[in-house]
Amino acid sequence: MTTLYYAVGACSLAPHIVLEWIGAPYDAVKVQYGSKELVAVNPTGAVPTLREDNGWLLTQCGAILDYLASKHPEAGLSGGDGLRNKAEAHRWSAFFTSDVHAAFWPIFMPSRYTTDTSEAARAAVVAAGQKLVAKQFRILDSHLDGRDYILDGGRSVIDAYSFPMTRWAAKLLPDGLKEYPNVQALHDRIAADPSVQKVLAREAGK
């Protein structure tokens, strides 16, 4: 069986949702970042980490999502099979990994981005992160104008990828998602999905 190692509310929420959408049996193991249990499986101590029965491991959220979509074509979560469909899926996966996720790091871990230990320096790094996230969300909001989902091929792993990040933004940007109505609509559409609610309840220990 496929096993997903996840941390509550982390980017691992995306493959957790995708496994639920796929509907095949899987194990979901809750871990803490850097815990002994996680480091034993993935020395970087990061989630998501995916493990197959024969011990094969896959890390990197975008790679895991692409793998799951390809492994389960019957679930129709790849966003389409054409050359340009695939290129668009890669484009948006890279956008979430490199542009959006990375923009949150100064907000989550400001101490990694300055050697100045003052409160003012911490606040300045957080504010810079919020500005970066806002830039990426303007791009996403404009792309989503007139669309229900990110890719042309309908609901896909990329929409699942957006979800942990739209949740973080709702909590961590000064005005939440107020300035991004199309992103808010996508967030709400995903949040209303019964499989997503099931996963959120499991992650919350309910």
Smallest separation, CB 89 to ligand GSH (Å): 15
Nearer residue to ligand GSH within complex by CB, 7 or 183: 7
Distance CA(80)–CA(86), nearest Å, equals 7
Q: What is the DSSP string of 53-72?
A: TTS-EEESHHHHHHHHHHH-
Is residue 13 a contact point for ligand GSH (CB under 6 A)?
A: no
Nearer residue to ligand GSH within complex by CB, 87 or 109: 109
Smallest separation, CB 146 to ligand GSH (Å): 29
Is residue 158 a contact point for ligand GSH (CB under 6 A)?
A: no
For 4, 103, 133, the CA distances from 95, given in Å and listed in that order, are: 23, 11, 12
Smallest separation, CB 60 to ligand GSH (Å): 5
Q: State both tokens at 105.
A: 């790091």
Q: Count the site residues for ligand GSH by CB under 6 A.
A: 12
Smallest separation, CB 109 to ligand GSH (Å): 7
Distance CA(202)–CA(8), nearest Å, equals 9
The torsion region of residue 176 among left (phi > 0), alpha (psi -120 to 50) and beta comes to left
Contacts to ligand GSH from residues 17-76, by CB under 6 A: 33-34, 45-48, 60-61
Nearer residue to ligand GSH within complex by CB, 133 or 182: 133
Distance CA(15)–CA(121), nearest Å, equals 35
Which part of the chain contacts ligand GSH (CB under 6 A), choosing from 6-14, 21-29, 50-58, 175-183?
A: 6-14
